[in-house]
């Protein structure tokens, strides 16, 4: 019960960060259209020191993907909209991974076994296991809504965010547009893939 309370408190704090409650927020400098927040390159917030344990084992560090566009999706096995968007996320990942784009899931407020069962057969990209919402707070922008998605540019800055479920017709053009921006090309280094099991 204490763990759930901590997770909800963390989510509530983070919700304020994305919504712009309690003073200035990075979103104040960005535009919102049809539920998608987009930030011009000069107005993007840098993301550093985000690490976590992967569901399949091992660790993830967002700085290892610098030079790539990183799509971060927050999900839970208990979340019906997460189920609804799963195929769209996987389709977008497959369509864009050869364009210098990588995906990482963040599984929150969940049981590890339930999360693994949900992930199996849905995602070929890796997910961080974040039962207490601590990884979300490292981004300083996660919201209580689930699912939600962030798109980081090649410099590791938040270029776009979407609260709620997304679809491939919305997400793929957004990701491709950010991937096509001027800047560093795809970084070398392995994509943290989900191992079978």
> In the prediction, which pLDDT does 192 show?
47
Q: What is the maximum span of the chain, computed from C-alpha positions, in angstroms?
A: 47
Q: At what angle do helices 80-96 and 168-179 cross, to 10 degrees?
A: 40
| Eight-state DSSP code of residue 76 | -
Query: Do the Cβ atoms of 140 and 17 come closer than 8 Å?
Result: yes
Please check whether residue 187 lies inside any domain of the structure. no
pLDDT at 27: 72
**How far apart are the C-alpha atoms of 69 and 100, rounded to whole Å?**
6
Q: Does 186 reside within a domain?
A: no
> Residue 4's pLDDT is what?
36
| Residue 82, in any domain of the structure | yes
Please calculate the CA angle 56-59-61 and round it to the nearest 5 degrees.
135
Domain count, the chain: 1
Q: Which CATH number goes with the domain that contains 138?
A: 3.40.30.10
- Domain membership flag for residue 185: no
Q: Could you tell me the pTM of the whole model?
A: 0.80
As given in the structure block, the two tokens for residue 44 are 């993007």
Phi, psi of 41 (to 5 degrees): -50, -40
Nearest to 86 by CA among 132, 130, 54, 117: 117
pLDDT at position 8, please?
A: 35
Q: How many helices (H) and strands (E) does the chain have?
A: 5, 9
Domain contains 196 = no
Residue 41 lies in a domain: yes
Q: Which residues of the chain have pLDDT under 50?
A: 1-24, 142, 184-197
Residue 52, in any domain of the structure = yes
Cβ contacts of 160 within 8 Å, gap of 6 or more: 36, 37, 38, 39, 150, 151, 174, 178
Residue 99 DSSP code: G
Q: Which domain holds residue 64?
A: 2-179
Is residue 116 a part of any domain in this protein?
yes
């Amino acid at each position: 019960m204490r763990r759930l309370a901590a997770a909800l408190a963390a989510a509530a704090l983070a919700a304020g960060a994305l919504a712009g409650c309690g003073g200035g927020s990075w979103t104040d400098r960005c535009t919102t259209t049809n539920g998608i927040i987009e930030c011009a390159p000069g107005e993007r917030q840098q993301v550093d020191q985000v690490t976590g344990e992967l569901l399949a084992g091992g660790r993830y560090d967002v700085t290892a993907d610098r030079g790539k566009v990183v799509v971060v999706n927050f999900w839970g096995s208990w979340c019906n909209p997460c189920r609804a968007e799963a195929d769209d996320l996987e389709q977008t990942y497959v369509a864009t991974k050869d364009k210098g784009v990588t995906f990482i899931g963040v599984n929150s407020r969940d049981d590890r076994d339930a999360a693994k069962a949900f992930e199996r057969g849905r995602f070929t990209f890796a997910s961080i296991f974040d039962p207490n919402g601590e990884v979300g707070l490292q981004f300083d922008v996660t919201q209580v809504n689930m699912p939600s998605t962030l798109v980081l540019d090649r410099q590791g800055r938040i270029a776009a965010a979407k609260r709620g479920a997304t679809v491939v017709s919305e997400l793929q053009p957004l990701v491709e547009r950010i991937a096509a921006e001027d800047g560093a090309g795809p970084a070398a280094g392995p994509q943290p893939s989900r191992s079978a099991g």
